[in-house]
Each structure stands twice: as C-alpha cells, then as structure tokens.
C-alpha cells in the first residue's frame, strides 16, 4: 500500500468505486474538497494499491470545531476505507501519515470528531487504540455543546471530539 496526495487520477478511481458506507463517489461533492486542497486549506491523502484506491482521509488545517480552531489543532476529516479493504490497517496508515503532516506543519496536536451511533462503531474503537482521547468537553451538535436534558437527533452532526499530541517534527527527527 502506498499513501499519496489526492490526484485527478485517484479522484476518478474513487468515483468509480463503491466503497460502502461513508464512501463519497459523487464528483460534484469532491470538487470543493479538491479546490480546498489546491488552496492549501486541507491535505487530502489516498491509500493506493495496484491502481485501486483503498481509502482516503483529509487533514483540515483550520477545524470548524471552535476549541480546535482556537488551539490550532488540525482536524482529521472524511476518513473512509473501502468496505472490502477494512480491517487491514488502511485507516491506521492514513492516520499515521496525517499525523506526520500535522507535525511537519508545526502543529503539536491533532484531533477528530466521531459520531455516536453504530455506523461509527469501527471508528469508535480504532481511535482510542491509536492514542486519541476525548477532549473533555462532552458532545456537540453542529459544533454547539449539548447541554444535559436537551434533545438532539442522533445523526452525523452529533459528535464526540478526540485529540492526540503529535511530536514536533524536530523531536521526531
Ligand atoms: C473506521 C474505518 C475508517 C476504519 O478503517 P480500517 O481501514 O478498517 O481500519 P484499520 O484496519 O486501520 O483499523 C483496524 C481497527 O479498527 C477497529 N475496527 C475496524 N473494523 C472494525 C469493526 N468492523 N468492528 C469493530 N472495530 C473495528 C478495530 O479497533 C481494529 O483494530 P484491531 O483489528 O486491532 O481490532 C472504516 O471502518 C470505515 O471507513 N468506516 C465507515 C466510515 C467511518 O466511520 N469513518 C470514520 C468517520 S469518524
């Protein structure tokens, strides 16, 4: 498996595949992502083997989650492994590469949000294994804290945020 930046070629391969739940194959949906990558707002990495895209993930340099934005914590976003390649370390490899990019960019922490319902079960187990811990601020709905006793739908906008320290590039070398 090799990991590289998103190219037009790998984008076409993503659009051709049906990667199962979470997989984004609509080129229109990708055009903003591609534009953001070109403008340096996000880094988009893909994991490839034999011309096939096994998975992809982004690093948003400026998170929309206010505590991350304030702390300069970049956010891992849109991380998906194609269903038939799951459980073989693809996401683990992508996350390691995104962490390295964060460190090279001078960041000392990295974060991500995970949904609370069963479709996110694999992600809920994976992130703690890789050293990600809840940020201690509870859950948010559309980036706003959810207060005790309030009601919100359990959907993709209901999120628990996790963070991890990344060694600085200088310390790692
Ligand atoms: C979450 C996801 C990206 C993991 O990708 P992956 O390439 O299969 O993950 P890896 O092989 O690197 O990691 C394996 C670890 O993830 C967890 N995991 C993977 N599949 C799992 C499953 N079906 N059930 C429970 N845990 C699972 C385990 O902790 C596993 O470690 P282990 O094998 O040592 O037990 C993938 O399942 C996926 O694309 N899911 C749908 C989209 C999604 O939820 N994205 C994350 C949004 S926050």
Instruction: Please give the domain boundaries of the chain with CATH numbers for all domains.
Output: 2-172 (3.40.630.30)
Q: Is the pLDDT of residue 51 over 90?
A: no
pLDDT score at 94: 98
What is the rounded (10 degree) CA torsion for 30, 35, 38, 39? -140
State residue 173's pLDDT score. Answer: 54
pLDDT per position as a tens digit, 99-145: 999 999 999 999 999 999 999 999 999 999 999 999 999 999 999 99
| Atom in ligand 1 nearest the alpha carbon of residue 81 | 39
Which atom belonging to ligand 1 lies closest to the Cα atom of 123?
A: 1
- pLDDT of 170: 63
Residue reference for tokens 């940020």: 135
Residues 97/54, Cβ–Cβ less than 8 Å: no
- Which pLDDT value is given to residue 49? 95
Which of 91, 120, 130 has most ligand 1 atoms within 8 Å of its beta carbon, as the pocket-test mutant? 91
pLDDT tier at 95 (50, 70, 90 boundaries)? Answer: very high
Q: Is 129 in the pocket of ligand 1 (CB under 6 A)?
A: yes
Residue-wise pLDDT for 145-154, tens only, equals 999 999 999 9
Q: Check residues 99 and 18 and name the one with the higher pLDDT.
A: 99
Q: Strand, helix or coil at 147? A: coil
Q: pLDDT band at residue 167, thresholds of 50, 70 and 90? A: confident
């Amino acid at each position: 498996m090799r990991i590289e930046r998103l190219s037009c070629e790998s984008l076409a391969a993503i659009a051709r595949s049906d990667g199962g739940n979470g997989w984004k194959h609509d080129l229109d949906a990708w055009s903003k992502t591609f534009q953001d990558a070109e403008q340096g707002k996000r880094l988009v990495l893909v994991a490839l083997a034999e011309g096939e895209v096994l998975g992809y993930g982004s690093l948003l340099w400026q998170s929309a989650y206010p505590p991350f934005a304030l702390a300069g914590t970049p956010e891992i976003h849109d991380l998906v492994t194609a269903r038939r390649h799951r459980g073989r370390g693809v996401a683990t490899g992508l996350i390691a590469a995104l962490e390295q990019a964060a460190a090279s960019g001078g960041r000392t922490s990295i974060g991500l949000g995970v949904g609370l319902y069963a479709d996110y079960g694999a992600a809920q187990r994976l992130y703690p294994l890789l050293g990600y811990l809840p940020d201690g601020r509870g859950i948010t709905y559309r980036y706003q804290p959810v207060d005790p006793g309030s009601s919100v739908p359990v959907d993709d906008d209901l999120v628990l945020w996790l963070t991890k320290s990344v060694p600085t590039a200088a310390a790692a070398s």
